[in-house]
Amino acid sequence: MIVMKFGGSSCANATRLRQVADLVVSARNLRPAVVLSAMGKTTNALFAAAVAAERGDADAALRLAGEPLANAAEAAAELLSGPHLATCKSALQQMQDELQVLLRGVALLRELTPRTRDAIVAHGERFSTTLLAALLRQRGLPTRHVDARTFLRTDDRFGAATPLRAEIAQLARELVAPLLTGGEIVVTQGYVGGTREGHTTTLGRGGSDWSATLLGEAIGAEEVQIWTDVEGVLTADPRFVPAALPIATMSPAEAAELAAFGAKVLHPATIQPAVEARIPVTVRHTQRPEGNFTTIDPRITGHSRGSVAALACRGPVTVLTMTSTRMLNASGYLARLFGAFGQLGISVDLIATAEVSVSCTVEPDAPVEALAAALAGHARVEVATDRTIVVAVGEGLRRLPRLLERACRALGDLTPELVSFGGNERNLSFVVPSADAQQAMQQLHAEFFETAALRDGSAVVASSEIGS
C-alpha cells in the first residue's frame, strides 16, 4: 500500500485533475490511498467567506464561498458525463447547501467559533475528493470515497487540532486498510479530521501533507508520495532563489528542520509519523512525474552530508534584546527572564546570549509590551520587528570546515543581527531585516550550491551515506 497526496495546485482544475487520475491509475497495482487537498485557492476563499459572514455580510460570504463550488462544478462538467456527472453534481450541491446554512448562521449571529470555521473550511477538501472519486469511478476503477472525519481522529483544538495517533491507527486499520487490500482505491480528504464527538476539525494550514503521513503510518504504507508543483525539495525556495537545485535524498531530520524553518513544500509536522513508522516520503512534481524527485529516507541518520543540504527562511519574526538592569553574574537571571516568557505563553525560536544581554526571536504577534512590563526592574527590552530567520540545514553541518567563514563571506555587507550555531548538528541560522532576506538567501545559495564543482559534478545533490 502507498499513500499519494496531491496538493492544491495539483488538482486546481479539470486538466490537473485528469493528470492526478492518470498518476493514480498508473500506481494502481501499488494499492494507493489518495489524500487530496482543496482545489487551488479554495481554502483561502472559504476562510474569507467565514470572515465576511462574521461581519454579518451574508451576501459577500455566499459569493466568496460560491466561487470554489462553481470551480468544482465546472471541472465536473468537463470531466464527467452521464450518471457519474449527475451523482457528483448532486453530492456537490448537497455540500454547498450545508455550507450556505453554516455561513447564513454565522452571519445572523455575527459569531464565528473556531469549530464552525473548521466545518466551513473543510468543505474545500470535501468538494475536491468528491470530484476525484467520481472521475476514478468513471475510469472504471473500484474507488471508495472515505470521509477523513471517520478515521483521522483528533482532539478538539479547532483550527490546529492534534491527531490522536493510536486511535487513527486503529480506525484506519478498520476502515481504510481492508478496502485497499480488497483492491479498492481510497480517496480521502487531507487537512480534515474529526473528534470523538463527530465534530469536524482541521490540522492547520498546509496540513494535508501531515494527513498523508498519519494515514501512511496507520496503514503501514510502503511509501508516502507528496505530489506538488516542484521537482522535490529544492536547495532553496525557488520563489526566492530561482537557481535552486533538486535534492535527491535527505534525512528526515534535515527535512523536518527545513520545514520548521519555513520551507513550505512540507508541513512542519509531516515527517514525524513517517520517521517513527520508518516509511520513506518522496516529494514529486505532478506535472513532471518522470523528472527529479526527493526521497526522505528514514534509514539516513546521524551521517555527515559534508555540505549544506538546503537553505530556508521564515519571517517576519521579532527580535527581542533583553539587557539586565541588575548586577553582572546574578544567578537565576535567565530563569526569571524565561519564566516571564513561559507565563505569557511566548515561544522562543533562536537565542543568543552575552554577559548582560540575551537576544531571541519570537513570533510577530507575541505580547512584547506585557513582557516588558513583567520584566521591569530586571531587564530592559528592545524590540526589532520585521526580521527574517535565514537558515542553512545539513547533517553534520557543525563539522564542516570553514562553514562560518564561507557563510559570513557570502553574506558580504549584509550584517546578521543574530547568529545561532551549534544548538544542534544541522542548523546555522542568521537573523536579518526582512528586506535583506532574499539577497541573503541568494548570496548563500551562490556560495554553497553554485560553485563550478557543484554545477559540473552534481546537478542533483545526493546524500553521502546511508546507514542501516
Q: Contact residues for ligand ADP (CB under 6 A)?
A: 7-10, 37, 206, 228-230, 233-234, 236-239, 263-265, 310
Long-range contacts (CB closer than 8 Å, 24 or more residues apart) made by 274-278: 274/213, 274/216, 274/217, 274/224, 274/298, 276/217, 277/216, 277/217, 277/220
Closest separation in Å from C-beta 449 to ligand ADP:
12
CB of 337 to ligand ADP, least distance (A): 33
Kindly tell me which of 211 and 359 has the beta carbon lying closer to ligand ASP: 211
Q: How far is the CB of 71 from ligand ASP (least distance, A)?
A: 14
138 or 188: CB nearest ligand ASP: 188
User: Are 349 and 362 within 8 A, CB to CB?
Assistant: yes
Q: Give residues with Cβ within 8 angstroms of 266, minimum separation 6.
A: 209, 226, 233, 255, 258, 259, 283
Q: According to the binding rule CB under 5 A, does residue 232 interact with Mg ion? A: no
Q: Which does 263 bind (CB under 5 to 8 A by kind): ligand ADP, ligand ASP, Mg ion, none?
A: ligand ADP
Nearer to Mg ion, 206 or 394 (CB): 206
Query: Does residue 7 belong to the site contacting ligand ASP (CB under 6 A)?
Result: yes
Contact pattern from residue 204 through residue 233 relative to ligand ASP, giving x for each residue in contact according to CB under 6 A and a dash for the rest: -xxxx-------------------------
Residue 37: phi, psi to the nearest 5?
Answer: -85, 175
Residue 68 is a binding residue for ligand ASP (CB under 6 A): no
Q: Are 360 and 350 in contact (CB under 8 A)?
A: yes
- Which among 31, 21, 12, 28 has a CA at the least distance from the CA of 75? 12
Residue 124 contact partner, candidates ligand ADP, ligand ASP, Mg ion, none, CB within 5 to 8 A by sort of partner: ligand ASP
Cα angle 30-36-40, degrees, rounded to a multiple of 5: 140
233 interface partner picked from ligand ASP, Mg ion, ligand ADP, none, CB below 5 to 8 A per type: ligand ADP
238 binds, among Mg ion, ligand ADP, ligand ASP, none (CB under 5 to 8 A by kind): ligand ADP
Of 28, 47, 29, 50, the C-alpha closest to 38 is 47
Regarding 190 and contact with ligand ASP (CB under 6 A), the answer is yes
Between 190 and 232, whose beta carbon lies closer to ligand ASP? 190
Distance (Å, rounded) from C-alpha 433 to C-alpha 454? 29
Q: Please tell me the distance from the alpha carbon of residue 416 to that of residue 387, in angstroms, as a whole number.
A: 10
Q: How far is the CB of 269 from Mg ion (least distance, A)?
A: 12
Q: Which is nearer to ligand ADP, 255 or 360 (CB)?
A: 255
Indicate the residue among 56 and 204 with the shorter CB distance to ligand ASP.
204
What whole-number distance in Å separates Cα of residue 56 and Cα of residue 104? Answer: 9
One character per residue 28-57, x = contact with ligand ASP (rule: CB under 6 A): ---------xx----x--------------
Q: What is the DSSP letter of 35?
A: E
The distance of closest approach from Cβ of residue 259 to ligand ASP in the complex, given in angstroms and rounded to an integer, is: 13
Question: What is the radius of gyration, based on Cα positions, of the chain?
Answer: 24
Cβ within 8 Å of residue 340, ≥6 positions away = 371, 374, 375
Whose cell is 468513471? That residue is: 138
Grid coordinates given for 427: 542548523
Count of positions on this chain that bind ligand ASP (CB under 6 A): 12
Q: Which is nearer to ligand ASP, 157 or 205 (CB)?
A: 205
Q: How far is the CB of 278 from ligand ADP (least distance, A)?
A: 23
Q: What is the DSSP letter of 161?
A: P
Q: Is 85 exposed, middle or buried (0-12, 13-18, 19+ CB in 10 A)?
A: middle
Among residues 163, 206, 268, 315, the one that binds Mg ion under rule CB under 5 A: 206
Footprint of Mg ion (CB under 5 A): 7, 206
- Residues of this chain that interact with ligand ASP (CB under 6 A) are 7-8, 37-38, 43, 124, 190-191, 205-208
